[in-house]
Structure 1
Amino acid sequence: MTSSTPRRTVLTAALAAAAGAAAAAPAASAADRDAPSAVAEPSAGRHTPEPGLVDNSGWTTYTDWRSGDAAGVRAVAGRRPGLVIDTPNGRTDYTDPHTGTTSTWEYAAWTSPVHVSTVPATEVIASWNADTPAGTWLQVELTGRYSDGTATPWFVLGRWASGDGDIRRTSLDDQTDGRSTIWTDTLAVDDASSGLRLLSYRLRLTLYRTPGSGLTPTVWRLGAMASDIPDRFTVPASEPGPARELAVPRYSQNTHVGQYPEYDNGGEAWCSPTSSQMIVEYWGRRPTADQLAWVNPSFADPQVCHAARYTYDHQYAGCGNWPFNAAYAASYDDMSAVVTRLRSLTDVETLIAAGIPVITSQSFRKEELTGAGYGTSGHLMTVIGFTADGDVVANDPASPSNEAVRRVYKRREWENIWLRTKRYNASGKVVSGTGGVCYVYFPAQPTPAQRKALAAVGIG
C-alpha cells in the first residue's frame, strides 16, 4: 500500500541495534569542512509551536532569510521572499552514489539561527519548499544540542532536486553518532527511554549550481517539526465537529499497478505520490503536457506517474519519503507544504473547515479499519471531510478504481490507527505507528481564514 518499508517500522526494528552500534560519521558534504563542533548559543527565531507534543519552526520571511549565517547567499524580497545564490562560496566535486557520475558544482550556504524547541524532542523531520531549475540542487542538514549539553554532528537530511537530470534525489541512511540516527527522513533519538532529548537545533541549507551558469535554486521555506510522542496503543477520542466535505480529485494508485517498476515497483506502492497529486490538483495545479510527455500515452492519469517519478528517493528506493513529497507539492507555483504531526481529528477538522485537506500516514490490520478491506504496515490517504456523525471522509488511493476512491471510515477507528505509536500486527508482534504524521499543502498566500487555521495547528 505504501512505498517500501515505513520509517517507523524500520525504527522499531532497528533502534535497539543502533543504540549499541559504534558511532559512524555522517555522509560527507561540500560544506562539512567548516562545520562547527557545537551548536551556537540560541538566538531569536520566528516559530509557530504546536502546544504539547509537537513544535513547528520555519524560516520564510525576508527578515528570516537575513538572519543566521550566510556564505555566498542573499535574501530576496517580494511577494514570496526567498534565498538564492549570490556569489558562490566555492566549488566541490560530488559523486552521485546512484549513478557513479562525478560532477563539479559551485555552492553557497545558509545556516539558520539556533531554534530552541518548545518540545524536548525524540524525533525531528525537516521540510523545505524550493524551486530547483535544471542545473541546480540543494542539500539540507541539521545539528542539534542534547539535554546533557553535548551536540550532534551535522546530519544530512536530504539532497533534493525537483528534476532528475543533474543528481538523483536521495536520503542518506547509516548516519549516527551512537545516540541518534537518521532513518530516511527522520532524526530519531536511539533510546528515548534514557531520557535523552534534543533541545535545540540549527538547519544548514547548501545551494548548488553548474559552475559559471548564473543559475540558482530559490528556497522559500525551510523548517522542521520536532516532537516527543509518548508510546501509546490508544489515544483519547475527540468530539465530532461540523460536517464538511471538500471536492478533491480522486485517483487510484491501483490504476498504475506494474507501471514504471523502476519507481518502487509500480503503482501498487504509490499511495504517497497519488495522495500528493490529488491535493496538488485540488489547489488547481498540475504538470504541463510537456512535463508529461515522457509517460506512455496509453496510461490513464499520467500525472500520477509523474508524481511517483519526482518524489522517488533513490536511497530509500521508494516514493514515500515524507519531506520529498512535501517538496514535490511545493514545486508548483505558489504552493507551500510541510510535514508535521497533529494532535487529533479536531485539528484536521480545523483545517478542513478552512478548505485545507490533509494527507495522513497510518498502519493497521484489516479488521481495525472497517470497510478498508486490507491491512497495511504503512499507507497514505487524504482526509477530505467529515460526515454529520463525525466519521472520516477519505480519498483512499488503495482502491480498485478512481470511482471507488472516496471512502467513509469510522471516526474512532481512524483516529486511533493514525495517532497511536504502538500496535499489534497480524502476528501479534508489537510494532510501531506514525504518531499522527501528515502532510499539509496550502497556498503560499493563504486566505485569512486559512492562515488562522494553520496557526491553530502550529503551522506558520
Structure 2
Amino acid sequence: MTGPHNRRTVLAALAAVAAASAVTSTGPASAAARSASGASRPGASPSPVPDTAVENHFWTTYTDWRSGSAAGTRAVAGRRPGLVIAAPAGTLEYTDPHTAATAPWEYATWTSPFHHSAVPATEVIASWNADTPAGTWIQIELLGRYSDGTDTPWYVMGRWAAGDQDIRRTSVDDQTDGKSSIWTDTFSVDDAASGLRLTHYRLRLTLHRTPGTRLTPTVWRVGAMASDVPDRFTVPASTPGVGRGHELAVPRYSQNLHAGQYPEYDNGGEAWCSPTSSQMIIEYWGRKPTAEQLAWVEPDLPDPQICHAARYTFDYQYEGCGNWPFNAAYAATYRDMSAAVTRLDSLADVESLVRAGIPVITSQSFLKEELTGAGYGTSGHLMTVIGFTEDGDIIANDPASKDDDAVRRIYSRTEWEQIWLRTKRYDATGKVRSGTGGVCYLYWPTQVSAAQRRVLRPLGLL
C-alpha cells in the first residue's frame, strides 16, 4: 500500500474477512499487517532466504552512549550503562491525544550516529529497554537514508512510558513521505518491487521529565532490526538439529481465561496473545509483578499478572496490546532484563536459542487447516516456542487454549515453519494477505551464560 493508512482499520478489515469465512482470530497481527492483491499462486519451488536478510544493530555500551550527538543528555557508566538527562535542553508542551491533557515537559535528546545497515532494508523495527519513573517518558524516532540518496523525515517509532499515569504510551498513525510509511511499530518501504531500500538510519531519543525536578528516564538499549525478507508463500523445509529433545520449563498461561476482562485494554481473550506470551517468558526468567503492582486487578481473577501485562503493553493509538516493541520494552522493565524485536532466518536459529535456554516468542498467521491441532485460524497470533520433540516437531506454549493446563502443544515442524517464515499467504476467500516473515521477540537476562552469549552475539543482540 502507498500513502497513510490507519493500521487498526486494516486489521479490522482482515478480521471481518476472517469472521465471514468462519476463521477465528486469536489476536491482532502487529507490524506491517498489510493486505495485498493481484499476486499469483506460488510455484512449486519455495523461495530461498538470503544469508543477509536480517541485521540487528543496538547501542548499549558506555562508548555507544558517548557517540552521536547529545543535547542535555549524558552517558552513565556502571554494570548497565545508560543514557540520562544531565541538564534539560528546553521545555515543550505536549498534548496527549488520548486524554487531551496538555502539560509542560523538560526534555533532552541524544541522536545516534548514522548506521550503515548490512541489509538494505524494506522494513525496520526499532526496540528499546528503559526505565521511566513516574514523571518521565521517552520518544523514539528514526531517520533513514534511501538507496536513491534522499532522506526520510524523522518518523516517530513510539512515545513510551512504563506506566500510564503521565502520558498514554502510543504509536503515531499517518506518517509517510510517499516512499515509506510507519505501520504502528514498523517502518516499511511502500513499493519494495521498485528496488528502493533503506541503506542507513539513525535513531533519536528524547527524554522527558516533569519541570523543576531531578527525575530522569534511563535508557539502556536502543536499536533496530533491518530486514529485506523476500516475498514468499513457502519456505524450504529445514532438517531437525540441535534442539531435538530439548524442552524449557516455561510457565503456562491461557489468554482465553481472560475473555471479556478490562475492555479498556481490548477486552482480554483473543486480543491478549502478545502480553500473555510475554508474561510466560518473563516468569520463566524468574521475574514477576509484586503484590503491590497487582493490587489494581479485580480480586479473584485468575492469573492477575496477565491483566497487568495487558495494561502495560497497551498502545492507545493501536487500541491493542500487539505493539511488538511495547511488549519488548515491558519485558525490560523487570530487573536486569534485556529484550528485542527481531526476525530469524530459520528454525535452526530457534533450535540454537532453545538449546541455550532461551525461549522464543513468535508471530504467525494461518488458516485452521494449516496448523494441525491448533483448532483455530488467525490473522495474527503470538505463541512461544519452548522446545522440540525428538523428531524435531515444535513444542509451543500456545496461549490460545481453553485453560492453563492445555497451553502446551506439539505442532508439526513443517506446518509451523511455513506459517511463521512466509511473507505471503491466502486467506479463506483466496485473497493474498501478509505473513510476518520470521518475526519474534527475544527476552534474556543482562548476565548470560557463555552458551547464551555464543547464540545471541551472532544475531547482533549483544
Report the equivalent of 2:251. Answer: 249
Aligned counterpart for 2:265 among listed residues 263, 268, 285? 263
Report the equivalent of 2:337. Answer: 335
Report the equivalent of 1:198. Answer: 198
Tell me if the contact between 1:8 and 1:433 (Cα under 8 Å) persists in the aligned partners. Answer: no
Report the equivalent of 1:179. Answer: 179
Aligned counterpart for 1:388 among listed residues 362, 365, 390? 390
| Letter in structure 1 aligned against 2:148 | D
Partners in 2 of 1:458 and 1:389 — Cα distance?
29
- Deviations, residues 28-76 of structure 1 (Å, cap 9, x unaligned): xxxxxxxxxxxxxxxxxxxxxx951001000000000000001100000
Partners in 2 of 1:7 and 1:168 — Cα distance?
19
- Deviations, residues 263-286 of structure 1 (Å, cap 9, x unaligned): 112232100000000000000000
Tell me if the contact between 2:272 and 2:310 (Cα under 8 Å) persists in the aligned partners. Answer: yes
Partner SS for 2:437? coil
| Larger RCO: 1 or 2 (CA < 8 Å, sep 6+) | 2
Partners in 1 of 2:31 and 2:294 — Cα distance?
33
Tell me if the contact between 2:131 and 2:162 (Cα under 8 Å) persists in the aligned partners. Answer: yes
Partners in 2 of 1:106 and 1:367 — Cα distance?
54
| Letter in structure 2 aligned against 1:11 | R
| Letter in structure 2 aligned against 1:388 | E
Partners in 2 of 1:63 and 1:305 — Cα distance?
38
Shifted more, 50-59 versus 2-11: the winner is 2-11
Report the equivalent of 2:380. Answer: 378
Partner SS for 1:343? coil
Tell me if the contact between 2:31 and 2:324 (Cα under 8 Å) persists in the aligned partners. Answer: no
- Deviations, residues 108-132 of structure 1 (Å, cap 9, x unaligned): 0000011000000000000000000
Report the equivalent of 2:5. Answer: none
Structure 1 residue 232: Cα displacement: 0.1
Partner SS for 1:201? strand
Report the equivalent of 1:53. Answer: 53
Report the equivalent of 2:29. Answer: 6
Partners in 2 of 1:133 and 1:189 — Cα distance?
35
Structure 1 residue 8: Cα displacement: 5.5
Tell me if the contact between 1:138 and 1:159 (Cα under 8 Å) persists in the aligned partners. Answer: yes
Partners in 1 of 2:297 and 2:35 — Cα distance?
37
Structure 1 residue 10: Cα displacement: 3.8
Partners in 2 of 1:12 and 1:3 — Cα distance?
18
Report the equivalent of 1:212. Answer: 212
Partners in 1 of 2:312 and 2:265 — Cα distance?
9
Tell me if the contact between 2:314 and 2:321 (Cα under 8 Å) persists in the aligned partners. Answer: yes
Partner SS for 1:244? coil
- Deviations, residues 374-401 of structure 1 (Å, cap 9, x unaligned): 0000000000000000000000000000
Report the equivalent of 1:170. Answer: 170
Partners in 2 of 1:459 and 1:349 — Cα distance?
17
TM-score, normalization by structure 1: 0.91
Partners in 2 of 1:250 and 1:6 — Cα distance?
21
| Letter in structure 2 aligned against 1:198 | L
Tell me if the contact between 1:9 and 1:377 (Cα under 8 Å) persists in the aligned partners. Answer: no
Partner SS for 2:461? coil
Partners in 1 of 2:329 and 2:362 — Cα distance?
16
Aligned counterpart for 1:273 among listed residues 272, 275, 281? 275
The aligned length equals 427
Partners in 2 of 1:3 and 1:86 — Cα distance?
45
Shifted more, 247-256 versus 262-271: the winner is 262-271
Report the equivalent of 2:43. Answer: none
| Letter in structure 2 aligned against 1:12 | S
Aligned counterpart for 1:282 among listed residues 281, 284, 287? 284
Tell me if the contact between 2:32 and 2:188 (Cα under 8 Å) persists in the aligned partners. Answer: no
Report the equivalent of 1:87. Answer: 87
Tell me if the contact between 2:71 and 2:110 (Cα under 8 Å) persists in the aligned partners. Answer: yes
The RMSD of aligned alpha carbons is: 1.6
- Deviations, residues 294-336 of structure 1 (Å, cap 9, x unaligned): 0011101000000000000000000000000000000001000
Report the equivalent of 2:108. Answer: 108
Partner SS for 1:104? strand
Tell me if the contact between 1:141 and 1:156 (Cα under 8 Å) persists in the aligned partners. Answer: yes
- Deviations, residues 353-409 of structure 1 (Å, cap 9, x unaligned): 110000000000000000000000000000000000000000000000000000000
Partner SS for 1:12? coil
